Amino acid sequence: TGYFGKWHNGEQFPFTPPGQGFEDFFGFNNGHWNNYFDATLLRGTKPEPTKGYISDVLTDEAMQFITARQKEQFFCFLSFNAPHSPYQVPDKYFDKFKAKGFEANVAAFYGMCENIDDNVGRLLAHLDTLKLAENTIVLFLTDNGGTAGVKTYNAGMRGGKTSVHEGGSRVPLFVRWPAAKWTPHVVKPITSHIDLYPTLLDLCGVKAPSGPKIDGVSLRPLLENENASAWPERVLFTHNPIDETNKYPGAVRTQRHRLVREIKGPAGGSKAKANDTSATPWQLYDMENDPGQKQDIAAKHPELVKELAAKYDAWFADISSDGLQRFPIPVGHPEHNPVELHAPQAYPDAPLHFASGPGFANDWLTGWTDAMAKIVFDLEVVTAGEYHVELTYGAPANAMLRVSLGKQTLEASIPAAEAPEIPLPHRDETGKTRFRNREWARLKLGTLNLKPGPAKLTLEALSLPGAMGMDFKELTLTRR
């Protein structure tokens, strides 16, 4: 089994690809990467520099994996981070669409898409060369609806990425298996990503292992027969977890209808964090006759709204029964040493805030101008021992910092460090301000003795370098 590319399901073991059973991993454990050229990626847990454009590099790695495993059964997951922002792409792709009159970000976006087309073509040709195409199942799909970063074609569907309308969650899925002799056709019944696991088990003749109940169903009947009979009526759900406990925004999809609750305040802002449903009632759309969701028919069908809303309530109660809070960061697994505690995983006090806005991957905390403000990490220590603590930061002048865990404390003088920005090949102005890399300073602070179990690690400033404050990137814990 091999995983190549973007992994957005956890940054520390066991939530990483190796921790989830992939024998080979080459990529990154974040929602996006800041530099798509000559990027430093992870092979397993170890950083490794690369040469070339990231989508090309990842495809090369997947092809090498398939070559090495061609005499045995294999599962290869190639997860392109493009065309996710930042919008960076080789000149030949960018220039083609810029010459058509598109704005820089749109030209880069379309160029990134065409580069993916070329790389998927390379991968399929590689299967042909190795004479593996006939009996290899290939699936191609995307991870969410139309992008929120640029305004592009979305087939007339309402909404885009992060929206719970159809345009935010409906994606393409192509399935190819020449040996199965399927007649090419379009599957009409609604399906979901949760169906992929049982479908692949079924197609490969593998019995499902013991464990949690499988929510999806095998799509084999729909793949084998365009007019599959007795296909059951289904109800699928969408939820956008804006906050750790919010119940909405959410949606319910049947074959004909889509029930949506957005939770927008009177001024348009989201009220999801307060679970405030007063401003936005349920909306209902007939997806067969109104696929663009232009006509809300909730008032005409109150019983259907009530029925589908009850199904959503039951579903949400089930999936949230163990809570929706963030997991603590696991520390001490021998498979992942050292462990980096990244700024976006922290719980910071005001006025600390993220430099680029929402606090997505690769961001840092800035505005540390109040000595009372703290940075807290929730940990789950799995292996006791002595851990070296190292700070990654930038500071315009000297400072004093304290790291505490229980009754243990480390106090250190933090020398001034500029941490200059590293130029990146952005194609648009937004990327230059939102996706930034810096040459961070690193400083060893000392050691802490950690005991198994939950723990809170706290950083607090004993003195701060003037009005600018200190920028915090990450803390690294290395078990001796």
Indicate if 65 and 188 belong to the same structural domain: yes
Please calculate the CA angle 153-159-165 and round it to the nearest 5 degrees. 130
Please calculate the CA angle 93-35-350 and round it to the nearest 5 degrees. 135
Q: How far apart are the first and last CA of the chain?
A: 31
- Domain assignment present for residue 248? The answer is no
pLDDT of residue 26: 99
Indicate if 226 and 335 belong to the same structural domain: no
- Domain assignment present for residue 291? The answer is no
Indicate if 40 and 175 belong to the same structural domain: yes
The structure tokens 């003195």 sit at 463
Indicate if 203 and 74 belong to the same structural domain: yes
Domain boundary among 230, 257, 279: 230
The half-sphere exposure of 292 on its side-chain side, counting CA atoms within 13 A, is 4
Q: Classify burial at 397, counting beta carbons within 10 Å of its beta carbon; exposed 0-12, middle 13-18, buried 19 or more.
A: middle
Domain boundary among 213, 230, 247: 230
Domain boundary among 211, 230, 249: 230
Question: What CATH number does residue 185 fall under?
Answer: 3.40.720.10
249 preceded by a cis bond (ω within 30 of 0): yes
Q: Which pTM does this prediction carry?
A: 0.94
Q: Which long-range contacts (CB under 8 A, 24 or more apart) does 307-316 make?
A: 308/235, 308/252, 308/254, 308/257, 308/259, 308/282, 308/284, 309/252, 309/259, 309/282, 311/235, 311/237, 311/252, 312/237, 312/250, 312/251, 312/252, 312/259, 315/237, 316/237, 316/239, 316/247, 316/250
The first and second tokens of residue 86, run together, are 């930042």
Cα dihedral angle (337, 343, 349, 355), rounded to 10 degrees? 170
User: Assign residue 340 a region: left if phi > 0, alpha if psi is -120 to 50, beta otherwise?
Assistant: beta
- Domain assignment present for residue 302? The answer is no
Indicate if 223 and 362 belong to the same structural domain: no
247 CB-near residues (< 8 Å, 6+ apart): 275, 316, 320
- Domain assignment present for residue 306? The answer is no
- Domain assignment present for residue 271? The answer is no
Question: What CATH number does residue 456 fall under?
Answer: 2.60.120.260
- Domain assignment present for residue 288? The answer is no
The structure tokens 């040469």 sit at 51
pLDDT of residue 268: 62
Indicate if 213 and 333 belong to the same structural domain: no
pLDDT of residue 278: 74
Which residues span the domain enclosing 154?
2-230
- Domain assignment present for residue 98? The answer is yes
- Domain assignment present for residue 82? The answer is yes
Q: In the chain, which residues have pLDDT < 70?
A: 243, 265-269, 466-467
pLDDT of residue 276: 74
Nearest partner of 382 among 79, 13, 42, judged by Cα: 13
- Number of compact structural domains in the chain: 2
The CA distance from 395 to 470, in Å, is 5
